[in-house]
Structure 1
Amino acid sequence: MSTLPPRLSVITLGARDIAALRSFYRSLGWPELPASDDGWSAFLLGGVLFALYPLPELAAEAGPGVAAPAGGWSGVTMACNVDTRGQVDTAFTDAVTAGATVVAEPTDRSWGGRSAYIADPEGNRWEIAWAGTAVFDERGALLSFG
């Protein structure tokens, strides 16, 4: 049995321009922690801390001896699941209005849900999704999926 518990506590994005990313995520209405600044910023989202940290410093800490990656999509997506099928479209529109780049318009998916993809100002991909089997608690934390 591993002593590493099965939980996700923090997601940290290495940011090229923290000020721009902070501004974008605040414009979505996400609650930023009071201790945040342009050296480190964090948002508490449904029980997971979503953090922004300078990319060169994160690369030095998490990958000593490895250069920070160049720009472009990393191949990782994050997702924000919403409560109803229709909320995919409205959340997508709100994100684009806040400055997100359209990656894929809202569409019904073969797996029975609906989703769309956006990119933040540094190209990090977010899926906005609805899955009828997802169950959330009062904080928005995912309790079960399917």
Structure 2
Amino acid sequence: MRDARVSLVTLGVADLDRSSRFYEALSWRRTEAGNASVVFLQGEGTVLSLFGLDDLAGDAGLEAAPLPDFRGLSLALNLATRADVDRVFAAALRAGARSVKPPQTVVWGGTSGYFADPDGHLWELAHNPFFPLDERGHIDLTELGA
């Protein structure tokens, strides 16, 4: 089970300073581990890495190409209440995010909304009353038999 986790998420970005300021405004803590090409931000149990888009493509041995608005991927932050979803969504917009879908009650009984960061990376903010959060804000579905 210890290997079934995401330790670090790397986002290709156009401007390291702009993206770093954006995520710092959302409570990610910039670390000293980076350099001129990469910024590492500490979150709760996850590190967010910001890498220049062309440099990231080169690191993977690929050519950088224009990115579509929808990339078939979203990152998600589950929160304890609907009010928390609204609060973080508003903070993201103030920091420079683009509203994709404002928080709303959804068919499965919770709240969900989407924003795109300054580089178009899609984030979902959700409150799911069926996914209880522990004291650190982590989802643990093992108690639900998942």
Unaligned regions of 5+ residues in structure 2, if any?
A: none
Secondary structure at 1:135 match in 2:
coil
Name which of 87, 90, 95 aligns with 2:92. Answer: 95
Partners of 1:39 and 1:140 lie apart in 2 by: 31
Q: Which residue of structure 2 lines up, in the alignment, with residue 13 of structure 1?
A: 11
Q: 2:82, 2:68 → 1: CA distance?
A: 30
Q: TM-score, normalised by structure 1?
A: 0.85
Structure 1: gaps (5+ residues): none
Q: Pick closer, same or farther for the CA change 1:16–1:130 going to 2, 3 Å.
A: same
Aligned length: 141
Q: Kindly, what percent of the aligned residue pairs are identical?
A: 34
User: Which string of whole-angstrom CA distances, capped at 9 and with x for unpartnered residues, describes residues 57-110 of structure 1?
Assistant: 211222x2x311313332211111111122111211111111111111111111
| Root-mean-square deviation (Å) | 2.0
Pair 1:67-2:68 in alignment: no
Query: SS in structure 2 opposite 1:12?
Result: strand
1:134 corresponds, among 109, 131, 134, to 131
Q: Is the 8 A contact 2:79 2:137 kept in 1?
A: no
Displacement of 1:133: 2.2
**What letter matches 1:31 in structure 2?**
R
Q: 1:140 to 1:41 in 2, by over 3 A?
A: farther
Q: Which has the higher strand share?
A: 1
Distance in 1 between residues matched to 2:83 and 2:140, nearest whole Å: 21
Q: Distance in 1 between matches of 2:107 and 2:99?
A: 21
Partner of 2:22: 24
Preserved CA contact (<8 Å) 2:39 2:49 = yes
From 20, 35, 40, give the equivalent of 2:38. Answer: 40
Name the counterpart of 1:117.
114
Equivalent residue for 2:77? 80
Residue 40 of structure 1 deviates from its aligned partner by 1.1
Name the stretch that deviates more: 119-128 or 72-81: 72-81
